[in-house]
Structures are given as structure tokens and as C-alpha cells.
Amino acid sequence: MPNRTQQWARLSLRTPGIFIFGLVMAPCGWVLNLTATVAPNWRTLEDVENTPPNEFIEQGIWDICRSITTSTSSTCGLEDTPYFDNEIIDIAQGLMVASLVVTIAGLAVAIPGVRCWKQSPNWVVAGLGGILIFISGVFTLIPISWYAHILEDLNSVTVGTVRVGYCIVLGFIGAIFEILGGFVMFIGICRCCGGKNRGEVRVEETGRSRYTSRPQSQPRRVDIPSLRRDRSPAPSSVPYIRDPLDDDVSFPRAKTDGARSITTSYSGRPYDADL
């Protein structure tokens, strides 16, 4: 029987895009969740009785602070036993810390599987890391959503106008980052969309063996015009004669009479030409 198992091959050693997306979103979400965990501003109480109009109270899951709109300083460590007795406070403390720990564990598991210097990443290990990151985002989303739902119903000795704190907003954004990043990394554990999520193609589509490396493209040939000039046989501008130099003169020479003998005496009047 013919083997019906399809073989797949990656055309590049680059890190898959789903892993890049997850490894960027997860740390960003972790930083936002860390800020939401430690900052004391899950909700704000304004127009508090028996306090100046520019004073407001910030309540978090670990501490309560009093601040003034005209100053950046705050007074923390305020006592509010009814507030910390709310059930959501203990749950939020545990889940937010667990979310931070699970995110670090997910990144520690995913990074070895994402390594891009091999022919193919370890999809199973990277997918398990994506599951942990996804769970950490859910751990953050549960207390944030619960707290925002009962924001005005929390017991507190301080009474005033309730406003949503910035920790709720940061927690929502951080949770969404981790959920999306973990989910996108997890989908690499199984091949889908025709292998596009993994950057793979079927071997029969490439016409080569599974373990054959990608053929290198030949360098493009570029015809460069030659700078060498062929010397034409045209005559030179400076004439020359191959005959002996004795026959090449540029001035007329005096004719000599071979039969006439040269005399040494001169009886005529001397001229300048004779000198």
C-alpha cells in the first residue's frame, strides 16, 4: 500500500511569526499585570465626607492611599478593615500573583521550543508554553472583571464618588495581551491552514526531498560594458617614415658636386654666411 502520510518541509529557518507575536505580547502583558498588581489604584473615591475637595482616596488590593490633586505625594498605609474583608480582595491577591508566576513559567518553557537555529522548532514544547501564557492571562482577567463588576458594592469605611482606577484598565489590557499571545503560540502545536501557521509546505509541492536543504539561488548575471577600446589602424597624427634618418630631412640641403674638389683658399670678399 502506498504511504499516505504527507511530508512537510519548512522553506526558511526564520522564527515563525506566531512565536514572534507570542514572545512580544506575553512580556508586555506581564509588565502591565505587574503594575496592576502592586499599584494601589483599583478604584478611586472622590468627594469624600469631611475632607478637602482636592483630596481623594485610592484603594488597591494591597494598600490604600490618600492623595491630593495639587501634589504628587501620597499618604499610604491607611486602615480600612471592611474593605480588606471583601471576598474579592483575597481572590485578587492570589490570582494576580499566580498570573505573574505562570507567565514567567510559560516564557521559560516556550523559549527553548521557539529556537530558530534548527531546521524546525519544537512545536509541542512551544505550544505548552503558549498554554501557560494563556492561562496566566485568564488568571488576571478573572479578578479584574469581578472587581470591576462589583466596583460600587465593595464595603468600605470611606464613602464617596466611586471611579475606576487605572489598575483595572492596565489589568484588562495585560490580560488580553497574554491571552492572545498564548493562543497564537498554541495553534502551532497542530498544523492548520495548509501549514501556513508553521511556514511549511508539502514536499510534493516543492519537488524535493524532505531533508533536502533549500537550493540556493544562482547569482544574477549582469553584463558590464567593457572599457577596453580597440585601437583602430587609422594613421597617426604625427607622421613618421621607416626609411633611414639620413633620408628624412625637413630642410633643403645644399647640392654637392662630386666632381668639384674642395679648395681651402678663398679670394673673394667674406660674407656673414661664410662664417
Q: What's the pLDDT score for residue 28? A: 95
Q: List the pLDDT tens digit at each of the 275 positions of the chain.
A: 444 566 655 555 567 778 888 889 999 999 999 999 999 889 988 888 778 888 888 888 998 888 888 777 788 888 888 889 899 999 999 999 999 999 999 999 988 888 756 667 777 888 899 999 999 999 999 999 999 998 888 888 888 888 998 999 999 999 999 999 999 888 876 655 445 555 555 555 555 544 444 555 566 776 666 666 555 555 555 555 555 555 555 555 655 555 455 555 555 566 555 55
Question: Is residue 6 domain-resident?
Answer: no
CA distance 57 to 53: 11
Q: What's the pLDDT score for residue 2? A: 44
Task: Please compute Rg for the chain using Cα positions.
Answer: 47
Q: What's the pLDDT score for residue 68? A: 84
Q: What's the pLDDT score for residue 228? A: 63
Return the CATH number at 173: 1.20.140.150
> What is the number of domains present in the chain?
1
Question: Is residue 36 domain-resident?
Answer: yes
Q: What's the pLDDT score for residue 77? A: 83
pTM greater than the 0.85 cutoff: no
Q: 205-213 — which CB contacts under 8 Å span 24+ positions?
A: 206/9, 206/11, 208/9, 210/7, 210/8, 210/9
Question: Is residue 4 domain-resident?
Answer: no
Domain that holds residue 184: 16-42+87-158+165-206
- Rounded alpha-carbon distances, angstroms, from residue 173 to 31, 143, 216: 11, 13, 44
Question: Is residue 212 domain-resident?
Answer: no
β-pair partners for 57: 45, 66
Q: What's the pLDDT score for residue 177? A: 95
Q: What's the pLDDT score for residue 48? A: 81
Question: Is residue 267 domain-resident?
Answer: no
CA-based nearest residue to 34, from 165, 147, 173, 183: 173
Question: Is residue 128 domain-resident?
Answer: yes
Q: What's the pLDDT score for residue 56? A: 87
User: Are 170 and 35 a contacting pair, CB within 8 Å?
Assistant: yes
Q: How confident is the model over 242-258, as pLDDT tens digits?
A: 555 555 555 556 555 55
Question: Is residue 223 domain-resident?
Answer: no
Question: Is residue 170 domain-resident?
Answer: yes
